Amino acid sequence: MAIDSLHGAPLPPLDELMGAARVVSIPTRTRFRGISVREAVIFDAPHGPAEFSPFTEYAFGESSRWLAAAIEFGWGETPAARRDTVDVNATVPAVSAGSVADVLARFPGCRTAKVKVAERGQSLADDVARVRSVRAAMGADARVRVDANGGWSVDEAFSALTALAEFDLDYAEQPCATVPELADLRARLARAGIPMRIAADESVRKAEDPLAVARAGAADLIVVKAQPLGGIAPALAIIEEAQLPVIVSSALDTSVGISMGLHLAAALPDGALAGACGLGTVALLDGDVVADRLLPEGGALRVRRPALDAGALERYRPTPDRERWWQERVSRCHAALTEAG
């Protein structure tokens, strides 16, 4: 049976989606999450631009949720905003300690930084040096977080977070891959008297049951991304049911995808946000698809939906084979959404 709606948005016919789609390939300023080019499909949709940008290794079933989010944002209605601006954190990739100052300079006014750790091929000493450099650059009153993307075992996470505790971390994001591991680590840290909050990211957005982490008491807060969860409405539903403080983050989106995250953060009830959101990552891209880029100003982003820049869409158009690859991906994800209905 065909899907009639996606959280209030009709499922457009495939030819309508394809007619609105433009594929882009934008270089990153530094290697991030193992990539140096960010590819995405941008839809010039009836209610404003929308983005479909699951990472290339994601399967069609998982990626179809990202397409559902794009359809909701581009063809549906966005919830009313409760705030005009959203505080954002600086994001520091797994760069050398000597490169930290240059990265932080791209996030003017930000008083919170999230630092990538547990990078494959690097050591705990690299992580400690990077975090030390961030703390020194930002001062004692700033918030510093680390994000391991599930890269540590419980033993490795306990050792790493014990070593990093001297930097007074705000929290550690997804230090281990599974919910039981997060629960075990959280208990071990508490027994050791190490005050370290645990945030769940992948255990929410990549899980069959995104609420399992809350039920297991495995995290102190959750990190929520609109695209992987199927859009703003399903993300809001998860946040409401989880009853945990939340950080809204991004997946190295263009300003179009960031706008979706901004509208999610702006719709949250007062008191729900656990601090600055991870929505400043356009600063890590060496280009964009809009002229009015969503870059931090005074540590915050103004909630808005920038118009597409036709020249930029053409400038960052990829090779024909990459265009075909993404068009096929849209087609197969559209079929998955149709079949799911």
Amino acid sitting at position 59: A
> Which of helix, strand or coil describes residue 209?
coil
Q: Is 173 annotated as a binding residue?
A: yes
β-pairing, 90-92 vs 112-116, is parallel
- The residue from 106, 225, 305, 329 that is catalytic is 225
Structure tokens given for 115: 């630092």
Q: What are phi and psi of 258, to 5 degrees?
A: -60, -40
- Spatial separation of the C-alpha atoms in residues 247 and 225, rounded to whole Å: 9
141 annotated among ligand-binding-site residues:
no
Rg for the chain, CA atoms, rounded:
19
Residues 143, 167: Cα–Cα separation, whole Å: 10
On whether the CB atoms of residues 292 and 306 are closer than 8 A, the answer is yes
Question: What CA–CA distance (Å, rounded) separates 22 from 249?
Answer: 24
157 close to 146: Cβ distance less than 8 angstroms: no
Catalytic, 225? Answer: yes
**Cα-to-chain-centroid distance, residue 282:** 11
Q: How far apart are CA 229 and CA 69, in angstroms?
A: 7
Amino acid occupying residue 225: K
Q: How far apart are alpha carbons 247 and 256 in whole angstroms?
A: 19
Active-site choice (106, 116, 135, 329): 116
| 206 a catalytic residue | no
87 annotated among ligand-binding-site residues: no
299 phi-psi bin (left φ>0, alpha ψ -120 to 50, beta other): left
Contacts of 222 by beta carbon, 8 Å cutoff, 6+ apart:
199, 200, 201, 204, 213, 214, 238, 239, 242, 244, 245, 246, 247
Annotated binding site for Mg(2+): 147, 173, 201
Active site (catalytic) residues: 116, 225
